[in-house]
Structure formats: C-alpha cells, structure tokens
Copies of this chain bind each other. A is one copy, B any other.
C-alpha cells in the first residue's frame, strides 16, 4: 500500500451539493483541503471548501486548471459527462475508478454487471423503441417501470406502466433516451448497505439501514434494520463482492430489496449515499470520512455502530419544522445551505438518536 496523501493535500470533488458539502467537512477533519467543481452557482459545498470552480463540464480550460490544483479527484454524483472524466483522468487519479462510474451510470450495464456476479436483480430488458417495449412488457408483465438508462435520480426519468396500452405514452416520456423496463419486485423491506473499500483492499461496511421512500425520494433510514442476522451477513457479503469486483476505492451505497427468499439489488451508487447519513450520529467515523480515508490512502476508520438512529430527510417545506426539531432532545439537525426551498428538494436531514 502506498503512503496516504500528505497532510494539507487538496481533494478535488466533482459536484457541489450536500454530499460534497459533508465530504468537504470530513476532509477538513483529516487535515485536507477541498476544491469543488460545480457548474451551478453558489454550491452548498462551496461554503466549507478551500476553493470552488464554477464552470460547465464542457469547459476544458477550467477542467485542466482544476486538475492541476488538486492531488486526487473524487465525485459526489455519478452523472459527470464522459468527456470531462476522460480529460481529468489523463491529469490526476480519479477515485472511485471509471469502471465503477461506467457501471452505475447506466441502469442496463449495472444490472448486467450484477447478474454476471451472480447477484439477483429485478427482471429487466433494454428498450430502444416501441417494439422493444412491447416485447419487454410481454416478457416481464405489468405493472413494470420504464426508466431512462442514464441520468435518473430521486424518481426522475421514470414512469410506471400498469397496462400494455400505456406503452406508447410511457415511451414518449423518455424523450428518445435509451431506456430499460424493470419488473416490480414484491418486497417486504428496502435496506441499504454503505460499504467502503480502501486502497489496500480492506473492506468495512456500516450496519445496513432500513429505508422508507415516498414519491421516489428517500424519507427515512433507520438502524438497525429489522432483518435477521443471516440477512445482515448476506447483505454485507454481497456489497463486499461488488466492491472487490470493481477494484473499488471509496464508499458505495448498495440499495437492496428484502424479499421472502432473497436480497435483490435495486441499485448501486458509487459515492456516499443519503441512506448513510445516520452514520454521523451513530459511529466514531461516518461515511463521509470513510470515503475521504479511502480516496486519500488512509486506513479505513471504525464504522461500528454504537447507537440506534433514525435519519429523516427534510424535503421542501419540511424546513418549516426546523424550529421545532431544533428543540428536541437526541436530535441532530443538518442543513445544506441551499438558497431556495423547492418542493421535492432535499434541504437537510435530522438524525434522531433512538
């Protein structure tokens, strides 16, 4: 294993949202500086970063200057354009690696990768045109979900198909983008494993959390999840299998459906994950620091859980509840500094130590 990045080194972070903000704070704890690259103005991460570049991902000169100013590059979201990544990778190491990004950027590639690893997913089929979609519906059945293969998050770029005659309208919603039809999975619970893999191959997973979604957006994550010891072990081993196969360095979120018979992988996110925010209140080292440790070559920290926690997202008008939440015992409030409250926008979260 190589030496960790020297104290005072600069970590470049692609994306300036709340994940970048909390990564930046974690980096400061380990004595590192961060440099945020974000196309939008006034990124939340900019409030706690050493430097900010505001430029589109198509701006080669800005990308070059950014790469020159940093010692390693990581990212807080997976939809950075390939051309930007190609350029950056020629100048500085990107962690987690490109393979992890390529797999998770495309739902079809991701599911094929998982099945190749022997890990079950929802039934799926590629959809490029109406014929594909009709064949897919015939095979998978209804209801099913049509999703764009790329650039979807928080329920965006998705439409449920309840009957074959809805196919044409659903396909129109994809606006010509390559799509994937996924069958519904009858599941009892949604859980996620936040796993970390260091540069020396060491793996540490946080205790799986149990998720509740509303309208396609994560509402709460609770630890411990109400699962059996065997399921807990299986979930962690499954995450480790993915991390190893990708020669992954950093933190990954693995969302799982718990069915009667199996753990089905819903999706993987090659970054810190909303369902891991509880680690800020329940562990000596949280997911953000674990990620920074991995990408800078530190040993992974102690992520064992020492408290039961319920994390709740503050979405849109939930901000009106902050004055009351601020008074509650055993609550931590985390706000993201986003200028404008919008419906469906993640504005912050609370960690309730149970």
Whole-angstrom distance between the alpha carbons of A31 and B298 in the complex?
30
The listed residue (B8, B21, B30) touching A339 by CB distance below 8 A is B8
Interface membership of A306, Cβ < 8 A: yes
Contacts of A342 in B (CB 8 A): none
Contact digits for A279-310, partner B, Cβ 8 Å, 1 yes 0 no: 00100110000000100001101101011000
Distance in angstroms from A4 CB to nearest chain B CB is 8
Distance in angstroms from A234 CB to nearest chain B CB is 24
Whole-angstrom distance between the alpha carbons of A46 and B24 in the complex?
13
Distance in angstroms from A74 CB to nearest chain B CB is 17
Q: How large is the interface on A (under 10, 10 to 19, 20 to 34, 35 or more residues)?
A: 35 or more
Whole-angstrom distance between the alpha carbons of A50 and B337 in the complex?
11
The listed residue (B29, B30, B281, B337) touching A33 by CB distance below 8 A is B337
Q: Is A335 a contact of B7 with CB atoms below 8 Å?
A: yes
Q: Is B284 a contact of A29 with CB atoms below 8 Å?
A: no
Contacts of A301 in B (CB 8 A): 326, 331-333
Interface membership of A175, Cβ < 8 A: no
Contacts of A323 in B (CB 8 A): 4
The listed residue (B31, B48, B298, B299) touching A337 by CB distance below 8 A is B31
> 7 closest pairs, A vs B, by CB?
A31-B335, A302-B329, A48-B48, A47-B50, A28-B48, A299-B327, A31-B337
